[in-house]
Structure 1
Amino acid sequence: MSYFNNTFWFKRFAMIISFIIVSLILWNTYVFFQRFKQDERSKMEIFASAIKEFESNTDLNASFNLENKVLEKIKGIPLILTDENDAIISYHNLNEKKATDSIYLKKQLLVMKRQNAPITINYVKDKKQFVYYRNSDLLYKLTYYPIALLLILVLFLSVVYQFFSSNKIAEQNKLWTGMAKETAHQIGTPLSSLLGWIAILKTENVSKDYISEIEKDVYRLSTIANRFSKIGSLPELQKQNIVEETKKAYDYLKSRTSTQISFNFEAQNSIINVLLNNELYGWVIENLIKNAVDAMQGKGKINVIIKEYEKQVKIFVSDTGKGIPKSQFKQIFKPGFTTKKRGWGLGLSLSKRIINNYHKGKIHVLKSEPNKGTTFEIVLNKAI
């Protein structure tokens, strides 16, 4: 519990610190942007003063040198000099090839008018010129800096969130694994006792049929205990006949299901070898058949069909139940997802993990129609 509390407060603290840091950076960026913009304005005012000086100075060499020095200072800041009627007199720091097009110059002039107020030059009585300019490329890049910073922050927070989420999930998985193994251990004690009682019953005058059924249930409990003990560890796969292993799970549930449900089992061949952990694979088949029984509400038909291909074997489990909406085809395999009033929503999630992760196969909903039924497909590689 302390781990989750510490994680909760650490995440909150990290978010607050991140927000403060980003706010300070954005504020400093804004201040720098305004200063840089003011600096460009000052340069334009110097340029305007130089133009005025140039117009009134009779020394052409001195004026030419002054203009060159000023132009060197404002390098990188696009500008256009116009008269009172917006006629373009000259331009600087624009694309030389594009600037030969008058339409391009007019568009640039409109951009400049939107960005900055013009600087007026009064060099002769009743005559004015105007200096229009737009932000330099450096200033443009600076405007996108906060956006880039926010994207980096979002990425950083996403990584942090994923890190803590994965840690939380890993911690929960350890808890579930420990509970499963402890359950298997606890089941082991009464199982041993039951086996002893079965041995005693065999010596008494008890029907062999009764003892056989009890043995089946005890074997079933033993299988369940073994399944739980394997959770969290990589199971051992052995070459097994998948037809036989599927039939075992099928027969067990068939004999313990309502007679209002008809069962059908088909297989192309009697022997198809696959690398299996028979206990875990049997768990998958049982989950699918149990879900089918629930979907049909105790009345309908279940088909289990095995088809062999060149390199693969496919197992189809279908029912005539209420069906699954297409939007839930993938959701039903997520842990905790269930449409039942009672249930943990772990059966199909575990089935997918057993087939996909342990057996390197695939399990999915092949097709489903409302009130007509659902077909699950399991695909496994054949043993070489």
Structure 2
Amino acid sequence: MTFFKNTYWIKRIAIIISLLIVSFILWNTYIFFQKFKQEERGKIEIFAAAFKELASNSDLNENTNLINKVYQTIEDTPTILVNKNGTIDLHRNIDSLKATNPKYLQEQLNIMKAQNEPIEIEYFGVTQYLYYRNSDLLYKLKYYPLALLLILALFLTIAYMMYKSSKVAEQNKLWTGMAKETAHQIGTPLSSLLGWIAILRSENVNEEYIVEIEKDVDRLSTIANRFSKIGSVPKLEQQNIVDITKSAFNYLQSRSSKRVTFSFTTSKSELNSNINTELYGWVIENLVKNAIDAMQGKGSISLQIQETPKHIKINVSDTGKGIAKSQFKQIFTPGFTTKKRGWGLGLSLSKRIIEDYHKGKIFVKKSELGKGTTFEIQLEKV
């Protein structure tokens, strides 16, 4: 118990430290961004002062080296000089081809107005306003925190997926162990039952009773074999789908309420596919049992087998309460159930048997609340 408590707190401390580190990086990035922005404005103000000095001093008109040197410090920063009337007098560091379009220049000016306050330049009664846009480096620095957050989100997503995957693997391992242990435990009384059947025969007990007991013993043996195959790759053999399906269907029909009507139809008497007989029969039984439960023991169940050039389709339909469309995929999730009593494993096991072991498909073909549901299984035809 102490170990789990320590692990609990270690995880939370690690999360808190990670959040503090990320917050520290984001805060420092913000401080650096603001400082760099101030430095950039300082350069623009120096450029504006040099421009004013050049415009107001006639001695400097013959030598523009000063303003050129100052200009080199902002050569990555787009600028637009606007007069008092709002007309653009000069622009720098803007695409020369696009700048021929007055509309483009106006768009750039609007961007600059939104980003930074203009710098006023006055000389000889002339008033101009110097607008500037953030440099490319400042743009990159602005979106750096967003990139950092995206990387962090990606990292957390991967960590969560790995954690979830490990939990699912752990749960699957647990279910597999329980299934195999169940199969092992069933094996012991089965051996005893076979011995008792032999004794009953030697005592000249009515053969009809013994035959029925043998059927139940065979059924228990089948269940034990099914559980023993969970977690291991089953052996697939070419079998007649029609016979295997009909056998599982008839077994439940003989043990169900007379108020349930059963209907079995097939396009051919022989349709072959590579399957594991016990596991496939388990899927059919799960679907039929769910159908009986959905009808609350009264209604009709129909099973149809059809073929396409490449596949065999098995449709199991009922006249039960139906399934909401939003739950078509959710019902195959382990643990999900709409019953008051149930573990929610039947359909998830069926999906694993059909899709993982037999490389087929199983899904809700159609369903309508209050009218019934149709499940479809697709298997490759051989």
What is the TM-score with the length of structure 2 in the denominator?
0.93
Q: Please, which moves more after superposition, 147-156 or 127-136?
A: 127-136
Aligned to 2:261: 262
Aligned to 2:273: 274
Task: Tell whether 2:345 aligns with 1:346.
Answer: yes
Structure 2 counterparts to residues 302-341 of structure 1, below 5 A: 302-341=301-340
Aligned-pair RMSD on alpha carbons?
A: 2.1
**Amino acid across the alignment from 2:68:** N
Other structure's SS at 2:63 match: helix
Give me the whole-angstrom Cα distance separating, in 2, the residues matched to 1:243 and 1:267: 7
Shift of 1:293: 1.0
Other structure's SS at 1:63 match: coil
Give me the whole-angstrom Cα distance separating, in 1, the residues matched to 2:7 and 2:331: 30
Aligned to 1:379: 378
**Amino acid across the alignment from 1:229:** S
Other structure's SS at 1:281 match: helix
Aligned to 1:139: 138
Shift of 1:32: 1.4
Shift of 1:87: 3.6
**Amino acid across the alignment from 2:285:** E
Relative to structure 1, is the Cα distance of residues 192 and 6 closer, same or farther in structure 2, using a 3 angstrom cutoff? farther
Other structure's SS at 2:129 match: strand
Relative to structure 1, is the Cα distance of residues 81 and 318 closer, same or farther in structure 2, using a 3 angstrom cutoff? closer
**Amino acid across the alignment from 2:96:** E
Aligned to 2:82: 82
Aligned to 1:33: 33
Other structure's SS at 1:59 match: helix
Query: Contact conserved, 1:51 with 1:67, CA < 8 A, in 2?
Result: yes
Give me the whole-angstrom Cα distance separating, in 2, the residues matched to 1:330 and 1:83: 66
Percent identical pairs in the alignment equals 66
Relative to structure 1, is the Cα distance of residues 16 and 82 closer, same or farther in structure 2, using a 3 angstrom cutoff? same
Q: Across the two proteins, how many residue pairs are aligned to each other? A: 382
Aligned to 2:287: 288
Structure 1 regions of 5+ residues with no counterpart?
none
Shift of 1:208: 1.2
Structure 2 counterparts to residues 75-154 of structure 1, below 5 A: 75-124=75-124, 126-154=125-153
Aligned to 1:220: 219
**Amino acid across the alignment from 1:120:** E
Structure 2 regions of 5+ residues with no counterpart?
none
Give me the whole-angstrom Cα distance separating, in 2, the residues matched to 1:322 and 1:177: 32
Relative to structure 1, is the Cα distance of residues 304 and 55 closer, same or farther in structure 2, using a 3 angstrom cutoff? closer
Q: Deviations along 1:335-372, whole A, 9 cap, x unmatched?
A: 11111100001101101110111111111122222332
Relative to structure 1, is the Cα distance of residues 113 and 188 closer, same or farther in structure 2, using a 3 angstrom cutoff? same
Shift of 1:309: 3.3
Structure 2 counterparts to residues 189-268 of structure 1, below 5 A: 189-268=188-267
Relative to structure 1, is the Cα distance of residues 4 and 325 closer, same or farther in structure 2, using a 3 angstrom cutoff? farther
Aligned to 1:15: 15
What is the TM-score with the length of structure 1 in the denominator?
0.93
**Amino acid across the alignment from 1:40:** E
